[in-house]
Amino acid sequence: MKQTFYKYQGTGNDFVMIDNRLLTFDKNDTKHVAYLCNRRFGIGADGLILLENHEDLDFKMVYFNADGNESSMCGNGGRCIVAFAKFLGIIDHATTFQAIDGIHHATIEGDSVQLQMQDVSALEKFDSHVFLNTGSPHHVQIETDLPQLQIKEIGSKIRYGAPYNQSGTNVNFVSKVSDEVFSVRTYERGVEDETLSCGTGVTAVALAMNYIGETDKNRITLNTEGGKLEVAFKKEGEGYSDIWLIGPASQVFKGEI
């Protein structure tokens, strides 16, 4: 059986995108999902995303990590599926859709997608890092020599170490450029390697840097290995609301496998 797919990327975070409105894709076949995401034997991607019908909203997003398992929210994937929905003619310039962490609003203009993330009410500050959940769990720590950091080696130790060893976490390493700009490198669980960018990761970094007083700005530019993203937010007591992840998302190619 042939499967039509589309490849999308948002600042280098790439996804196999499938129109599953007719529910023809087997979501229980984790080996097949992992095969499609494999960069040697399949299509190659950081994750696979299904666009499905929703009875009340514009569509539903179902996201799988590259290891084949359905995962928590993916910010760049959320931006990419908005671009995909526009390509399919489901939406025009604004949308409301369902993801695993709840309802999201988004707008699209050209290749720029603004995705509203869930409010964050709890951040935990430790001596060496901040931990928070922006739809996915994120460990955020400041580093002075980001370019030389062995992301996969150090990130995997944190990801599988205490206190995260039960379910794991994504790991973000941050370097401050200015009050409005931070550089980020991310180790993603499920991919089990560094990705060129991570949407929920840069969101976590922006909030964490504001939370610990590294910046008092409420719109921050994040330099990732795959390009620039922006995060805008409002501080609400000890938490954050009206959080938007902003950046490009584009179709790379269409194919059959």
Written as six digits, the tokens of 226 are 């795959």
- Say what the pLDDT of residue 153 is: 97
pTM: 0.96
CATH for 4-105+249-256 is 3.10.310.10
- Say what the pLDDT of residue 81 is: 98
* Beta strand 59-65 pairing with 47-52: antiparallel
- Say what the pLDDT of residue 167 is: 86
Written as six digits, the tokens of 189 are 């669980």
State the Cα angle at 63 between 149 and 120, rounded to 5°.
70
Instruction: State how far the Cα of 153 lies from the Cα of 151, in Å rounded to an integer.
Output: 6
**pLDDT < 50: residue spans in the chain:** none
In the chain, residues under CATH classification 3.10.310.10 are 4-105+249-256, 123-248
- Report, as residue numbers or ranges, the catalytic residues: 74, 198
Q: 146 to each of 72, 149, 179, 184, how far by Cα in Å?
A: 27, 5, 17, 8
- Say what the pLDDT of residue 223 is: 98
Buried b (16+ CB within 10 A) or exposed e, 14-27: bbbbbbbeeeebee
Fold topology of 123-248: Diaminopimelate Epimerase; Chain A, domain 1 (3.10.310)
